[in-house]
A and B are shown apart, each in its own frame.
Chain A
Amino acid sequence: MSSRRLRITLLVLTVIGLGVASYLTYIHYAGIKPLCGRNGGGCEIVQTSEYSKLAGVPVALIGLIGYVTILGSLLAPETETSRFATVALTVVGFGFSAYLTYRELFSIHNICEWCVSSAVIVTVLMCLATWRFLRGDAAASGTPTQAEIGGPEAGAPLGAAHS
């Protein structure tokens, strides 16, 4: 996958996650019920439980802030630092989602589909961001990756790999 395509995939996933977190934050403050799957009750039970807030801050809002920060790191000019920022933020997001899923399964005994979807998104984000960080990037560092050096276009200008 080219680094441009990878970045776009990360951006799209982040925007979807941002949408989910925005919706959950909105319904929290508006005091309305979440649109939920087949049984209806799970989301409300999770959203109104004592674990829906962390130190008084709604977890939905924490998620929203998280996605905005991830989006910021993706929109920043691509450097080693920005890629590290993305991977660090997604690892934090994954950890937070893992904690919330643990609470859903073992403390609340109910599952909220919205939270699960966000957890899946952040997990995929983390995997892709980790891959992106570990493989490095020719466009940002000025050094082509091994994959980009090899092959018949070895003599082509560096920019050609991304055109």
Chain B
Amino acid sequence: MSTVEDDEQDLTRKQRREQARAKRKELEQAEAASAVRRTRLTQLGIVVAIVVVIIIAVVIATGGGAKKGVPKASELPKVSSEVTSLVGGIPQNGNTLGNPNAPVTLQYFGDLECPICRDFTLGALPSLIQKYVRGGTLKIEYLSLETATKEPETFKTQQIAALAAGKQQKMWDYIELFYHEQGEEDSGYVTESYLQKLAQQVPGLNLTTWTSARSDAELANSVTSDGQAANNAGFTGTPSFLIGKTGGRMQKLEYSSLTEPASFDSAIESALKA
């Protein structure tokens, strides 16, 4: 009996030892696994931190918002004379630049705060004006489509300010000045004084008439209907363009560059031949 009891006690002791060893092993494994996990998380954290720093550096280096060439006060007369030499002497009627009987019409959907519209206005547009508008082949209509401007009220106010200059056949002077002096995006630069300052730079604009025209309901309706026209054409971005024979069917203009006029040239030529 006693031998059997001793054996049983030995077995239990052995089992206990094994159990303790297994538990220890398990603990060690768990500790090792958690150490590995900690190392991996640290490595991952370092990579994420480096990437975040690089992104911030790239955003700062490429300009927090869009790059802007806001002219200094001393440069304003130069900008104003540039604009005058570009559109001066070309007939204007409301939102239209060019001969009313021009065979081809280009509709330009834009937002005055949109930096890419600025790229087009300062890039490909001057060449089109010189080559086709001045010669009477093309007329350009400017239509409003809100994209870059965050506040709908600001958008309406600034687009109406341009349309109000159109009541004195000077909308294109105002548009050109706006794009030339466009400020840092989302910086809230479009204030009443900014709009007034632009108006003061338009040669020959009667400020009293311009101010009273800004409350004209017809202009507000025009901004709304431009937005609807853009919607009907399926446009969601600016600048977007429709082109066609004057009075005929307008087609979407596809372009490969906004700074080079080549795509616009060929679209105008084919509209002329149509």
What is the CA–CA distance of A108 and B238 in the complex, to the nearest angstrom? Answer: 9
List the one stretch of B3-11, B53-61, B97-105, B209-217 in contact with chain A: B53-61
- Interface 0/1 of A97-119, CB less than 8 Å to B: 01100100011111100000000
Q: Does any Cβ of B come within 8 Å of A58's Cβ?
A: no
List the one stretch of B44-52, B168-176, B200-208, B266-274 in contact with chain A: B44-52
Q: Which residues of A contact B186 (CB under 8 A)?
A: 106
**Quick one: which of B246-263 are within 8 Å of A by CB?**
252, 254-259
Query: Does A39 contact B235, Cβ atoms closer than 8 Å?
Result: yes
Q: Does any Cβ of B come within 8 Å of A153's Cβ?
A: no
Query: Does A134 contact B65, Cβ atoms closer than 8 Å?
Result: no
Bin the interface of chain A by size: 35 or more
Interface of A, secondary structure class, is helix
Q: Does any Cβ of A come within 8 Å of B141's Cβ?
A: no
Query: Does A39 contact B36, Cβ atoms closer than 8 Å?
Result: no
List the one stretch of A3-11, A14-22, A40-48 in contact with chain B: A40-48
Instruction: Say which residue of B37, B185, B237 sits within 8 Å of A42 (CB atoms).
Output: B237
Given known A-B contacts A88-B47, A134-B37, A45 and B237 have beta carbons under 8 A apart: yes
Q: Does any Cβ of A come within 8 Å of B226's Cβ?
A: no
List the one stretch of A49-57, A69-77, A155-163 in contact with chain B: A49-57
Q: Which residues of A contact B258 (CB under 8 A)?
A: 45, 48
Q: Does any Cβ of A come within 8 Å of B40's Cβ?
A: yes
Q: Which residues of B contact A87 (CB under 8 A)?
A: 44, 47
Q: Which residues of B contact A130 (CB under 8 A)?
A: 44
What is the CA–CA distance of A130 and B43 in the complex, to the nearest angstrom? Answer: 11
Q: Does any Cβ of A come within 8 Å of B81's Cβ?
A: no
- Interface 0/1 of B51-79, CB less than 8 Å to A: 11011001100100111000000000000
Given known A-B contacts A39-B236, A48-B257, A102-B59, A107 and B41 have beta carbons under 8 A apart: no
What is the CA–CA distance of A74 and B116 in the complex, to the nearest angstrom? Answer: 39
Q: Does any Cβ of B come within 8 Å of A91's Cβ?
A: yes
Given known A-B contacts A41-B240, A48-B258, A106-B185, A99 and B55 have beta carbons under 8 A apart: yes
- Closest Cβ of chain B to A106, distance in Å, is 7
Q: Which residues of B contact A92 (CB under 8 A)?
A: 47, 51, 54
Q: Which residues of A contact B36 (CB under 8 A)?
A: 136
Q: Does any Cβ of A come within 8 Å of B115's Cβ?
A: yes
With both beta carbons as reference points, the residue of chain A lying nearest to B260 in the complex is identified as A48
Given known A-B contacts A39-B237, A44-B254, A106-B186, A54 and B62 have beta carbons under 8 A apart: yes
Q: 3 shortest A-B CB distances, which residue pairs?
A: A110-B237, A95-B51, A109-B147
Known contacts A84-B40, A108-B116, A134-B41; 10 further A-B pairs (Cβ under 8 A): A41-B240, A41-B254, A45-B237, A50-B119, A51-B62, A94-B51, A95-B54, A109-B148, A109-B237, A110-B116
